[in-house]
Amino acid sequence: MSVVLITGSSTGIGRLTALTLARQGHTVYASMKSVAGNEFTDVDGLDLHTVELDVTSQESADAAVAAVVEQAGRLDVVIQNAGHLYVGYVEAFTDDDLTRLLDINAVGAHRVNRAALPHLRAQRSGTLLWVGSTIIVTTPPFLGPYVASKAAFDALAVVTSYEAAQFGIETTIVMPGAITQGTSHFPNASHASDAAVTAAYAGLDPLVERNEQATAGLVRPGVNPHPQGVADEIARVLALPRGEKPFRTVVDFTEAGVDHVMAFADLTREAFVTRMGFGETLQLQR
């Protein structure tokens, strides 16, 4: 069993993943910006702990990782799950809005990596599991900054994997499709700061207002688009033997075909990197 640190564990995918992995016998550290009010209940007998981690602070990331290593003696898996949603018109988001979301959704993962990778490199083993999104392919309207931030997140996962693999560290990117049940993404979404520009787009407001409904309508009747399916896939991946974990896996209840797109994209990228003479960066070093 592994020692696992999960970011963004107060709700949704992160919380369900923490519970799922703990029930399977892993030692789980569920991190969140504020533990108060987000404690787990009915977890007697589980090796499940909460730790405060604000991904917008390197100091916080360093302290959280240090606490895990001190208490557990090691760290085996980092699940990059923390994220936030913006809904609105791209022009109406200020540069500060966009910078903030990129800071949370992409740079935040890098901060956690900078805290965790020294420990994983020293033991020459471990797994970085990134909870990305199919949205980087489907790119729906009215979610512009979020799409951009998840694209940055995915690219960061890929380029980090080349270097991490040389120290025996595996990478898997799990890409959930649109999920409108069991998460707080849409209810807690932020909106653009520029009210004047937002007002100029008022004619499109009815389209924005039915965004969540339109997303939910993509799921076939009888299919339950619950985040537990993502948690189960994460658990499946982590149970695979070292060296046999997939680089990318898709959990998409909308059946958008993103798995096919990404399979071709990754093959193209790997061929290009190999042609450059850097094929060894695609191989896990033991």
**Which residues does the annotation mark as catalytic?**
146
The DSSP element (H or E) to which 68 belongs, if any, is helix 58-72
CA distance between the termini of the chain: 19
Q: Which helix (H) or strand (E) holds 196?
A: helix 195-200
Cβ neighbours of 244 (radius 10 Å): 9
Q: Are 7 and 112 in contact (CB under 8 A)?
A: yes
Radius of gyration of the chain (CA): 19
Give the integer Cα–Cα distance in Å for 286 and 272: 24
**Calpha distance 163→129 (Å, rounded):** 15
Supply the angle between the helices 144-164 and 95-102 in degrees, to the nearest 10.
40
